[in-house]
Amino acid sequence: MTDKNQKTPQDMLEREAREEALAPLLDNGWRLDEGRDALSKRFEFKNFVEAFGWMTRAAIWAEKWNHHPEWSNVYNRVDVTLTSHDAGGLTQRDVKLARKMDALNS
């Protein structure tokens, strides 16, 4: 029996869909980490409490979707990297979580 949330290489974004999905994210400060096939972004907040509050809200969605970011926090800064380890690169799950993180920061 397979986990319904488990992704495989066929879940990888195809070239055309990838470009269409990534363009608005790249325009909004995300960058491609080509060596890893990952998306990265630095979020900056007014202070630690705001940064940690945002991380908490993002963590709730990450857990709900069973898709967890690589991230670190230093005072008012949160550095995020998204990739789907089980699929070996970017998938629609990464795009979905990146969009949610941006929405939580607006």
Least confident residue range of 3-7, 17-21, 85-89, 90-94: 3-7
16: CB partners within 8 A, 6+ apart? none
pLDDT digits (tens, 9 = 90+) for 20-53: 999 999 999 999 997 889 999 999 999 999 999 9
* Domain residue spans of the chain: 35-104
Backbone angles phi, psi at 44, to 5 degrees: -120, 140
CATH code assigned to 35-104: 3.30.1360.20
